[in-house]
């Protein structure tokens, strides 16, 4: 054990001629001014260990001063470390990392794969956030450095990782504590009723209203019983064991993503297979895959004239369509069914040449003439002046809809899909109007004379000698 005498002997050997205090002991460092007040001297020195004064000066370590500059060798190392790095960028990065907020369940993010284990891929989500992606059920394992589009699930505080799944895919859950509103979960449909379907989510009971089952109205919900679908959690009340799901929200998300990709690659003239989802008065909406739908206008359903779309299409029918137009800004897609088959007007000029006699059926009557259907998709117009040799006041007085008639082709324009026909060109003109005289024995049909005009003896109104009515009101002409 070191005694006080030993400490004083060591101090004397180390300090040599060090100043002594009034009691003969060594004076402590910083206490050079003996005439200064005790309180002032106490404030000038920093607190030190009781053994600090007994160490030799060569082994003492000075307390760092934050206001003083670094030593030369440390300054060189520091400058070499920050060479090429801007201070503003360091501050901005630190601020962004600090300001990174938590991710909401169900949100969509982009992440970079930083590590892959046999069953899990670890993803860097930026802002000091990381997540874990289960590899079970994936088509292939991701590679390190690959950027993925992901859906966010819950956050595990014990390991500081987010549960992740591929974009718009279900996230595995085990109990109520892992479910949050906005998550996409796998739900097995176990029963159906008039209001919707009942679902099982990892042993938890949930309900999906009929309006949230699909983008399109489903007449028979029993078709979904036994199927496992991906649904969005719209409402959750664990205390009441209430869980409301929406499959429609997931389908709309997938449809939006698929539409974006399709609009980028779709070209006019592409042929697609689709299913008729709804039929309206103006046309039909056809699903061409992944919930992406386009409109087939009534004029694009057939080369033949279509009065109502229900004559050609019905809901659920599979059809082959061609892309007519694409609006990449609004996302609208125009489709055509008739463009998938050859146009009947392609060889119309050869088949219906000028001067040819053709036979057709009156398809419709207008005030200016009658349309004659020669074949599906090919119609010609018989102008009112080409119906008969006489003056025709009403088209219906000469022909009727559905009547078969003989016509002569006057002109044919396949590009404009127009054809001019004439009925009177093949009819025999009446006698005395350029036609043959009546045969002997045939009664001649004489036109009834017009009734004579009746003469009136009443004086004519008006004239220059008639006094105007303005004089009755004091007007002078």
Q: Where are the domains of the chain?
A: 108-166, 176-251, 266-340, 348-422
Alpha helix stretches (DSSP H) within 238-377:
247-265, 348-351
**CA dihedral sign of residues 379, 383, 386, 391:** positive
**CA dihedral sign of residues 12, 16, 19, 23:** positive
CATH number of this structure's domain 348-422, picked from the four choices 1.10.357.10, 3.40.50.620, 2.40.50.140, 3.40.190.10: 2.40.50.140
Q: Which residue has the higher pLDDT, 464 or 414?
A: 414
- Report the pLDDT value the prediction gives residue 414, as an integer from 0 to 100: 86
User: How far is the CA of 330 from the CAs of 82, 226, 244, 321, 327, in angstroms?
Assistant: 50, 38, 32, 20, 6
Q: At residue 163, does pLDDT exceed 60?
A: yes
| CATH 2.60.120.10 assigned to 266-340 | no
Pairwise CA distance, residues 242 & 155, whole Å:
22
- Report the pLDDT value the prediction gives residue 334, as an integer from 0 to 100: 92
Q: Which residue has the higher pLDDT, 35 or 103?
A: 103
Share above pLDDT 70 across residues of the chain, in percent, rounded to a whole number? 68
Q: Which CATH superfamily is domain 108-166 in?
A: Nucleic acid-binding proteins (2.40.50.140)
Query: For the segment 83-129, what is each residue's pLDDT rounded down to a tens digit?
Result: 766 666 655 555 554 445 678 776 778 889 888 888 888 888 887 88
Q: At residue 33, does pLDDT exceed 50?
A: no
- Report the pLDDT value the prediction gives residue 129, as an integer from 0 to 100: 86
Q: Which residue has the higher pLDDT, 212 or 441?
A: 212
| CATH 2.40.50.140 assigned to 176-251 | yes
- Report the pLDDT value the prediction gives residue 355, as an integer from 0 to 100: 87
Q: Which residue has the higher pLDDT, 137 or 302?
A: 302
Pairwise CA distance, residues 306 & 304, whole Å:
6
CB-CB neighbours of 34 under 10 Å = 10
- Report the pLDDT value the prediction gives residue 131, as an integer from 0 to 100: 87
Confidence band of 262 (pLDDT split at 50, 70, 90):
confident
Question: Across all residues in the chain, what is the average pLDDT?
Answer: 76
Number of residues in the chain: 477
- Report the pLDDT value the prediction gives residue 39, as an integer from 0 to 100: 47
Per the structure block, which two tokens stand in for 95? 């601020």
Segment 328-350 shows an average pLDDT of: 85
Look up residue 1 and give its DSSP letter.
-
Confidence band of 335 (pLDDT split at 50, 70, 90):
very high
Q: Assign 293 to helix, strand or coil.
A: strand
């Amino acid at each position: 054990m070191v005694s006080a005498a030993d400490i004083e002997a060591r101090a004397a050997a180390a300090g040599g001629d060090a100043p002594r205090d009034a009691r003969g002991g060594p004076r402590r460092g910083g206490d050079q001014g003996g005439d200064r007040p005790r309180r002032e001297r106490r404030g000038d020195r920093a607190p030190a260990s009781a053994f600090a004064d007994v160490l030799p000066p060569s082994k003492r370590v000075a307390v760092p001063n934050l206001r003083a500059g670094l030593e030369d060798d440390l300054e060189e190392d520091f400058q070499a470390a920050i060479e090429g790095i801007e201070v503003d960028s360091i501050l901005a990065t630190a601020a962004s990392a600090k300001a990174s907020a938590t991710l909401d369940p169900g949100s969509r993010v982009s992440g970079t794969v930083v590590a892959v284990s046999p069953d899990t891929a670890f993803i860097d989500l930026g802002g000091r956030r990381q997540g874990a992606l289960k590899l079970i059920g994936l088509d292939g394992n991701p590679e390190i450095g690959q950027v993925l589009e992901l859906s966010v699930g819950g956050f595990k505080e014990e390991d500081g990782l987010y549960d992740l799944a591929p974009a718009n895919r279900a996230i595995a859950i085990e109990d109520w504590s892992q479910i949050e509103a906005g998550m996409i979960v796998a739900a097995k449909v176990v029963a159906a009723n008039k209001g919707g379907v009942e679902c099982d989510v990892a042993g938890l009971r949930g309900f999906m209203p009929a309006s949230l089952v699909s983008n399109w109205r489903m007449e028979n919900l029993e078709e979904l019983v036994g199927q496992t679908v991906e649904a969005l959690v719209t409402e959750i009340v664990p205390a009441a064991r209430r869980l409301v799901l929406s499959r429609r929200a997931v389908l709309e998300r997938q449809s939006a993503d698929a539409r974006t990709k399709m609009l980028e690659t779709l070209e006019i003239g592409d042929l697609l297979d689709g299913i008729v989802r709804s039929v309206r008065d103006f046309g039909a909406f056809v699903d061409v895959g992944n919930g992406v739908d386009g409109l087939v206008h009534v004029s694009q359903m057939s080369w033949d004239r279509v009065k109502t779309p229900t004559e050609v299409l019905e809901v659920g029918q599979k059809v082959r369509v061609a892309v007519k137009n694409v609006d990449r800004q609004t996302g609208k897609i125009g489709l055509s069914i008739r463009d998938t088959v050859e146009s009947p007007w392609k060889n119309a000029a050869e088949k219906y040449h000028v001067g040819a006699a053709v036979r057709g059926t009156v398809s419709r009557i207008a005030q200016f003439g009658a349309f004659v259907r020669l074949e599906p998709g090919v119609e010609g117009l018989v102008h009112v002046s080409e119906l008969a040799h006489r003056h025709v006041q009403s088209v219906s007085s000469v022909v009727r809809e559905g009547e078969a008639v003989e016509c002569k082709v006057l002109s044919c324009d396949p590009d404009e899909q127009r054809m001019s026909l004439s009925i009177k060109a093949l009819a025999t003109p009446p006698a005395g109007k350029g036609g043959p005289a009546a045969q002997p024995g045939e009664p001649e049909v004489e036109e009834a004379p017009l009734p004579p005009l009746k003469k009136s003896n009443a004086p004519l109104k008006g004239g220059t000698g008639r006094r105007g009515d303005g004089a009755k009101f004091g007007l002078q002409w």
